[in-house]
């Protein structure tokens, strides 16, 4: 889990502080990386398997098209 926590912190540190049309691709890449980490966390045990789906629902509200 420590590697996952480090990966989550790395994603957080890459979040652009000002959102513009130029960094939409970077934001979408961050969202994709976050989704991959959620899938990894979900597979750790049954507790996380039950707790993680709510975070997937939130991803739909922040994805840029």
Which pLDDT tens digit goes with each residue over 26-38?
A: 888 899 999 999 9
Block residue for tokens 């597979």: 43
pLDDT, position 42: 92
pLDDT at 39: 94
Mean pLDDT score of the chain: 87
User: What digits encode the pLDDT tens for the residues 7-62?
Assistant: 999 999 998 888 787 788 888 889 999 999 999 999 999 999 999 998 888 887 77
- Indicate whether 64 pLDDT > 70: no
Selection from 1, 10, 9, 12 nearest residue 44 by Cα = 1
């Amino acid at each position: 889990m420590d590697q996952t926590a480090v990966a989550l912190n790395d994603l957080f540190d890459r979040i652009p502080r000002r959102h513009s049309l130029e960094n939409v691709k970077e934001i979408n890449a961050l969202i994709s990386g976050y989704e991959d980490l959620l899938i990894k966390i979900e597979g750790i045990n049954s507790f996380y398997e039950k707790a993680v789906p709510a975070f997937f629902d939130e991803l739909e509200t922040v994805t840029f098209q």
